[in-house]
Amino acid sequence: MKKIMVGVVMAILVAGLVQAAESNEEKQAVAAAEAWLQLVDGGQYAESWDEAATIFKGAITREQWEQALRNVRSPLGKLVNRNLLGAKYVTELPGAPDGQYVVIQYKTDYENKQGIVETITPMLDKDQTWRVSGYYIK
């Protein structure tokens, strides 16, 4: 499970996510995260890796990512509901290079488990596109 947390999610930032996305960066990052989550929710794990940030791809291989998601997501069943809890724009994260990140949290219900907190961390990648650099399910 910790392998999925590609080094950019911190509990300190998660605690501060109480309001919905407000800045332009946050809105763009949330849109990118939600598009990426559609791939994951649809079982398109390889494609989600393809669309992830460069730093993400450097931390886990495509095959490792597919296997990790199969192991974690399959037992949960289908997505029932996902609600945005908040998003926070930051430029520094412990253990990650300085950059532009948005730490996003959702409260998510699946068929077999409710009240899961998903933390997704998009970053502004080298091509100036918001791409997911971290994903953690708790």
The structure's pTM equals: 0.83
Per CATH, the number for 2-137 is 3.10.450.100
pLDDT class for 94, splitting at 50, 70, 90?
A: confident
Buried b (16+ CB within 10 A) or exposed e, 101-125: bbbbbbebbbeeeeeeebbbbbbbb
pLDDT tens by residue, 106-122: 999 999 999 999 999 99
- Strand-pairing partners, residue 87, are 104
pLDDT number for residue 95: 86
| Distance between CA atoms of residues 131 and 37, nearest Å | 11
Q: Roughly how many angstroms between the first and final C-alpha of the chain, as a whole number? A: 9
- Strand-pairing partners, residue 101, are 90, 123
Mean pLDDT to the nearest integer, 88-107: 95
pLDDT tens by residue, 33-80: 999 999 999 999 999 999 999 999 999 999 999 999 999 999 999 999
pLDDT number for residue 133: 97
pLDDT number for residue 22: 67
| Distance between CA atoms of residues 120 and 111, nearest Å | 21
Per domain, the residue ranges of the chain are: 2-137
pLDDT number for residue 80: 97
Whether pLDDT at 125 is above 80: yes
Average of per-residue pLDDT values in the chain = 88
